[in-house]
């Protein structure tokens, strides 16, 4: 049975923390009802509240669902999003929003909002990301770029060039040759947390890492042309250093990174965490559209190619512990302290 930290749950309930919806329910002894954590109703006294894993546990204990916040709808919404993701993944061609919503029993515009809130992207954007991910894999596998494009599910090559190639960050033929023909500029920036490699293509940052150098960059991109940075990279590097030093909260720096659809959903969810705040791995998985995929979310954090810019240091364990960090726990602690003003 799931063990719930009653004090932490009360803090989330008192704050009406929407991120905790679906993680537990609040059962109120004085009224006999159970609510989702974000319920807008007036809060009962602390001694009248206990926290249970889900609606089924609450009903088994004799409580009934709150009619105002409808806590059981959280599970239904999660199942609908999961079913939609499964349908998008299995479809040979893009599914219209109306058809997708009808499959899971929701009105189109309501489901669009629901899906976007759960995954961070619209159903159409999720499908585009999935097709581009498949294109990346196919381009590494197929001899023919055209065959790879159609194998990934694009109805026409023009559609891939309109959306997939832009997401991949390089031409499809360059992708198929392991990045050949792509120029990556690099510099080593001095920070108070140690030397920081900052590297970028013409499209945006592709690698930001502590304690790495040109050799490590070349090993990561063996077919690319790796060359020292210019004035434009110096400007970009200065913006990254400002993030490290806590002088900036800029979330608009251009990126040129690639991952699976889930990895990119995790990285997007990481960039949405405000400076000075943290999330648990479970919360991150939920924000990326895969509630319960806590370990996979942790793996996606570990594969993050952009230290600080994609702030995986803002993820901590559910017990409040710092957890791991690819560039050292001491750096993680320092970054969090700077962002919280300590």
136 pLDDT tier (thresholds 50, 70, 90)? low
Per-residue pLDDT tens over the stretch 16-56: 887 677 789 999 999 999 999 989 899 999 999 999 998 88
* Residue 96 tokens, joined: 């219209």
Does residue 179 have a pLDDT over 80? no
| Tokens coding 189 | 């920036």
pTM of the predicted model, to two decimals? 0.54
Range name among 89-98, 103-112, 115-124, 182-191 with the lowest pLDDT average: 115-124
Q: Is the pLDDT of residue 164 over 50?
A: no
- Please report how the helices 72-90 and 108-119 are oriented relative to each other, as an axis angle in degrees rounded to 10: 90
User: DSSP code of 211?
Assistant: T
Task: Give me the DSSP letters along 11-64.
Answer: HHHHTT-GGGBTTBEEEETTTTEEE-TT--SPP--GGGEEEESSHHHHHHTT-E
3-state secondary structure of 161: helix
Q: What pLDDT is recorded for position 26?
A: 95
What tens digit of pLDDT does each residue of 310-321 get? 999 999 987 778
Catalytic positions are 35, 312
Please spell the DSSP secondary structure of 265-293, one letter per residue.
Answer: HHHHHHHTSPTT--EEHHHHHHHTT-TT-
């Amino acid at each position: 049975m799931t063990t719930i930290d009653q004090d932490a749950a009360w803090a989330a309930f008192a704050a009406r923390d929407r991120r905790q919806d679906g993680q537990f329910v609040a059962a109120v002894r004085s009224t006999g009802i159970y609510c989702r954590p974000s319920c807008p109703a007036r809060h009962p006294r602390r001694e009248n509240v206990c926290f249970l894993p889900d609606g089924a546990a609450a009903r088994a204990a004799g409580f009934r669902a709150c009619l105002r916040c409808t806590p059981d709808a959280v599970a239904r919404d999660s199942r609908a999003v999961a079913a939609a993701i499964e349908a998008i993944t299995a479809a040979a061609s893009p599914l219209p929003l109306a058809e997708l919503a009808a499959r899971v029993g929701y009105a189109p515009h309501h489901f669009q909002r629901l899906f976007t809130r759960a995954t961070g992207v619209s159903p159409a954007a999720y499908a585009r990301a999935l097709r581009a991910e498949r294109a990346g894999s196919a381009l590494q596998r197929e001899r023919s770029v055209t065959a790879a494009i159609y194998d990934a599910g694009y109805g026409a090559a023009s559609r891939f060039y309109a959306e997939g190639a832009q997401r991949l960050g390089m031409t499809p033929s360059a992708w198929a040759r392991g990045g050949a023909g792509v120029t990556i500029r690099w510099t080593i920036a001095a920070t108070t947390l140690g030397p920081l490699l900052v590297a970028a293509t013409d499209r945006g940052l592709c690698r930001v890492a502590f304690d790495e150098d040109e050799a490590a960059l070349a090993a990561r991109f063996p077919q690319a042309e790796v060359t020292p940075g210019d004035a434009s990279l110096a400007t970009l590097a200065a913006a990254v250093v400002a993030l490290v030093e806590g002088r900036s909260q800029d979330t608009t720096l251009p990126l040129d990174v690639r991952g699976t659809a889930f990895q990119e959903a995790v990285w997007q969810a990481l960039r949405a965490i405000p400076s000075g705040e943290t999330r648990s791995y479970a919360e991150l998985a939920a924000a990326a559209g895969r509630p319960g995929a806590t370990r996979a979310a942790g793996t996606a954090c570990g594969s993050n190619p952009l230290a600080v810019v994609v702030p995986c240091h803002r993820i901590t364990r559910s017990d409040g512990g710092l957890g791991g960090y690819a560039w050292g726990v001491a750096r993680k602690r320092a970054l969090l302290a700077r962002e919280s003003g300590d």
